[in-house]
Structure 1
Amino acid sequence: MINVTILPITDLKTKPGTPLARIMNERLARFATELQTYFQKQFVDEKHCEDLVVYLGYNSTYSVRWKIVNDVPEYIQDRVAKRCGNLGFIQWKEFDLYSYRPNLQY
Structure 2
Amino acid sequence: MTITVLPIAEPEIKPADPLVKVMNDQLVVLARELQDLHLKDLELMEPLFEDIVIYIGYNSKQGVRWKIVNDVPESAIAEVARQCDKLGYVRWKTATLNAFNRE
**TM-score, normalization by structure 1:** 0.81
Deviation at 1:30, TM superposition (A): 0.6
Deviation at 1:93, TM superposition (A): 0.8
Question: Identity over aligned residues, as a percent?
Answer: 45
Pairing 1:14-93 to 2, within 5 Å after superposition: 14-38=13-37, 39=39, 41-48=40-47, 50-93=50-93
For structure 2, which runs of at least 5 residues remain unmatched after alignment?
99-103
Deviation at 1:46, TM superposition (A): 2.4
Secondary structure of 1:60's match?
coil
CA distance in 2, matches of 1:10, 1:60: 13
Higher relative contact order (CA 8 A, sep 6+): 1
How many positions carry a matched residue from both structures? 96
Higher fraction of strand: 1
Q: Per the alignment, do residues 52 and 20 of structure 1 end up closer, same or farther by CA in structure 2, a change over 3 Å counting? A: same
Q: Per the alignment, do residues 91 and 31 of structure 1 end up closer, same or farther by CA in structure 2, a change over 3 Å counting? A: same
Deviation at 1:96, TM superposition (A): 1.5
For structure 1, which runs of at least 5 residues remain unmatched after alignment?
99-106
